[in-house]
């Protein structure tokens, strides 16, 4: 065995499977942590355990939270009339960093995809339509990625809301073609949100 003990070897293997990491970066991180084993490493173990035990999906919007409803859904200062629909929690975090939006969110957890056989029910789109139809929502902002699947999903939701008095908007140009929100700088996201257009 190369890496000192069975646990160290298992830890390197597990780390190497995390997104963006591989065997080399995993080994580097594990050796760094072992050098900081009484501080950073124990702290990381505790936090991972706590987040693993306490994290769940907000029952209202699908955001990651440690309670039934997330801090955004329960914040009395935020506007109730606007719901911003995103593909995943990373996109919600990116929009929040931009501080351009003060309404509520809805996390789809993906996009419609013929290839992957993901339909409206898999994304809870009927529940979304129900949610936005009930509560005095004036505007639904479809902040979906500028990919084919993202735009297909946006059009599907826009069509489903046709005939209601809800204004459906999308992010303005400024999101590059094929661009994923999570990889954009905060300013670009803010500008695109402010210049959002009716679909």
Residues that bind its own copies (CB under 8 A): 1-5, 7-8, 10-11, 14-15, 17-21, 24-25, 27-34, 37-38, 40-55, 63-66, 70-71, 88-90, 93, 96-97, 182-183
Q: Is 146 in the site for Zn ion (CB under 5 A)?
A: no
Shortest Å distance, C-beta 182 to its own copies: 8
Strand partners, 142: 85, 170
CB closer to Zn ion, 63 vs 145: 63
Residues 62-101, interacting with Zn ion (CB under 5 A): 63, 70, 73
Which one of Zn ion, its own copies, none interacts with residue 61, CB within 5 to 8 A by kind? Zn ion
Shortest Å distance, C-beta 75 to its own copies: 10
Kindly tell me the sign of the dihedral angle through the C-alpha atoms of 28, 30, 34, 37. Answer: positive
Shortest Å distance, C-beta 164 to its own copies: 31
Tokens of 113: 């995809």
**Beta strands 139-142 and 167-170: pairing type?**
parallel
Q: What is the dihedral of CA 43, 91, 129, 167, to 10 degrees?
A: 140
Shortest Å distance, C-beta 92 to Zn ion: 9
Q: Which residue has tokens 């760094």?
A: 32
CB closer to Zn ion, 137 vs 191: 137
Shortest Å distance, C-beta 114 to its own copies: 23
CA dist 177 and 117 (Å) reads 24
Which residue, among 96, 107, 181, 169, has the nearest Cα to 145 in the 3D structure? 181
Q: Which stretch binds Zn ion (CB under 5 A): 20-28, 50-58, 127-135, 139-147?
A: 50-58
Tokens of 40: 């950073």
Hey, which bits of 51-133 come out as E strands? 56-57, 64-65, 82-86, 104-107
Which one of Zn ion, its own copies, none interacts with residue 60, CB within 5 to 8 A by kind? Zn ion
CA dist 21 and 184 (Å) reads 21
Which one of its own copies, Zn ion, none interacts with residue 14, CB within 5 to 8 A by kind? its own copies
Q: Which residues bind Zn ion (CB under 5 A)?
A: 58, 60-61, 63, 70, 73
């Amino acid at each position: 065995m190369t890496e000192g003990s069975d646990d160290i070897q298992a830890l390197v293997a597990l780390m190497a499977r995390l997104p963006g990491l591989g065997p080399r970066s995993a080994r580097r991180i594990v050796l760094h942590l072992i050098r900081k084993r009484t501080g950073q490493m124990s702290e990381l173990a505790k936090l991972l355990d706590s987040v693993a035990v306490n994290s769940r999906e907000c029952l209202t919007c699908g955001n990651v939270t440690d309670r039934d409803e997330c801090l955004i859904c329960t914040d009395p200062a935020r506007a109730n009339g606007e719901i911003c629909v995103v593909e995943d929690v990373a996109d919600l975090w990116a929009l929040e960093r931009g501080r351009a939006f003060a309404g509520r969110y809805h996390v789809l957890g993906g996009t419609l995809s013929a290839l992957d056989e993901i339909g409206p029910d898999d994304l809870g789109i009927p529940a979304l339509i129900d949610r936005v139809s009930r509560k005095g929502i004036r505007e639904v902002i479809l902040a979906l990625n500028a990919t084919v699947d993202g735009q297909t999903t946006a059009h599907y939701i826009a069509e489903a809301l046709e005939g209601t008095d809800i204004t459906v908007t999308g992010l303005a140009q400024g999101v590059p073609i094929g661009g994923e929100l999570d990889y954009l700088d905060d300013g670009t996201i803010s500008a695109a949100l402010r210049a959002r257009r009716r679909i």
